[in-house]
Amino acid sequence: MTKRREFLLGAAAAATGTTLAAPYVKAQSPIRWRLQTYAGPALAEHVIKPSIDSFNKVAQGQMEIELYFADQLVPTGELFRAMQRGTIDAVQSDDDSIAAPVDVSVFGGYFPFATRYSLDVPVLFNQWGLREIWEEAYGEIDGVTWLSAGAWDPCHFNTKEPIRSLADLEGKRVFTFPTAGRFLSRFGVVPVTLPWEDVQVAVQTGELDGIAWSGITEDYTVGWADVTPYFLTNNISGAWCGSYFANTERWEELPDHLKELFRLCMDSSHYYRQHWYWGGEAKLRVEGTKMQLTSIPDEEWDTVEAAAHEFWDEIAAESERNARVVQILKDYNAAMAKAGRPYRYGKA
């Protein structure tokens, strides 16, 4: 009887402790993060907002992430430094656009002809070793933790005038990403850097002749299809490579269950984009009414791809780590070509 009484008293005490703990947890101030994306409001509705809404719902008041759009708090080109200083807590963007001070930043965004399809990006990171290289590179930088990479849409030109040959690109002022612009300048393209929200007006006023920043899904989603009536079906990359980053101190402060929740929400975002873009690119090419499709002949476009592989070797020469990434890209694309359909049709 004594042992039974002691057991019941212990159980009652444990139950009381549990009852008291719940109001205590709710009484704590929630952890608050400010996360800025590269995307404007219309695009963010797809590429990040659903996952952040889910995070805030599942976190049940323990943490809240405030989402900010392109250039809303900090210009995109200054995002890395702002995150490093703690001005903002997290970022969704590509390494290239936020001027990440790592050698591998050139592979963020659109590295020319590195990928054919959006699935290539997660496979390269999760099965071919890019994740470990990115963790190594960012591990050398104080204050910022790289968290995860995923795929977005392919890189096409949308322009005011039709592009039907390489000669038509000559002198065209185009909004694009830093490394993509560095490559495209070889073909007479004049890369232009502007705040994302100013791009559409710049096309209307003649400051820009076109855009090489997305596929056709974004052209319709953000309004660019209203001012650029031509869409070039040739692309310089099969998928944009973007990442999530966080201020290291703020990331390490999170309890493990909130870190895991954020990882799950990043994966949710990566998954959503895979089908949203894949379906959207096809549907709008077939059913879209705002843009006329144009193409550069394959034999002419082959010279662009050949130039891209020369560009790869130049990037590989910049650092030993870049050389490792380029070798992985070469090996991967060779394996995909050898695997054949549906992984690759024709040449790598």
Q: What is the pLDDT of residues 272-298, one digit of tens each?
A: 999 999 999 999 999 999 999 999 999
The predicted structure's pLDDT at residue 20: 34
pLDDT at 348 over 90: no
What is the tens place of the pLDDT at every residue in 60-110?
Answer: 999 999 999 999 999 999 999 999 999 999 999 999 999 999 999 999 999
pLDDT at 241 over 50: yes
Residues near 98 by beta carbon (within 8 Å), at least 6 away in sequence:
38, 76, 77, 78, 79, 80, 91, 245
Q: What separation in angstroms does the CA of 46 have from each of 51, 56, 177, 283?
A: 9, 16, 20, 17
pLDDT at 163 over 60: yes
The predicted structure's pLDDT at residue 279: 98
**Chain-centre distance for alpha carbon 189:** 24
pLDDT at 21 over 60: no
CB atoms within 10 A of CB 33: 22
Query: Cis peptide before 162, with omega less than 30 degrees from 0?
Result: no
pLDDT at 14 over 50: no
Task: Assign 251 to helix, strand or coil.
Answer: helix
Element (H, E) at 33: strand 31-37
Which of 268, 263, 218 minimizes the C-alpha distance to 239? 218
- One-letter amino acid at 148 equals S
E-strand ranges in 60-165 read 63-68, 90-93, 144-151, 155-159
Give, in degrees to the nearest 5, the angle at Cα 254 between 250 and 259: 110
Contact 254, 65 (CB under 8 A): no
Q: What separation in angstroms does the CA of 18 have from each of 29, 62, 63, 196, 197?
A: 20, 17, 21, 50, 50
Q: What is the pTM of this model?
A: 0.90
Strand partners for 145: 246
Question: Exposed/middle/buried for 41, CB within 10 Å: 0-12, 13-18, 19+?
Answer: middle
pLDDT at 235 over 90: yes
For the chain, give the percent of residues with pLDDT over 70. Answer: 92
What is the tens place of the pLDDT at every residue in 247-267?
Answer: 999 999 999 999 999 999 999
The predicted structure's pLDDT at residue 347: 57
pLDDT at 33 over 60: yes
Mean of per-residue pLDDT scores for the chain: 93
Measured distance CA(250)–CA(272) in Å, rounded: 26
Range 29-53 average pLDDT: 97
Query: Half-sphere exposure of residue 258, counting CA atoms within 13 Å on the CB side?
Result: 20
Measured distance CA(172)–CA(21) in Å, rounded: 64
Measured distance CA(282)–CA(291) in Å, rounded: 13
The predicted structure's pLDDT at residue 346: 74
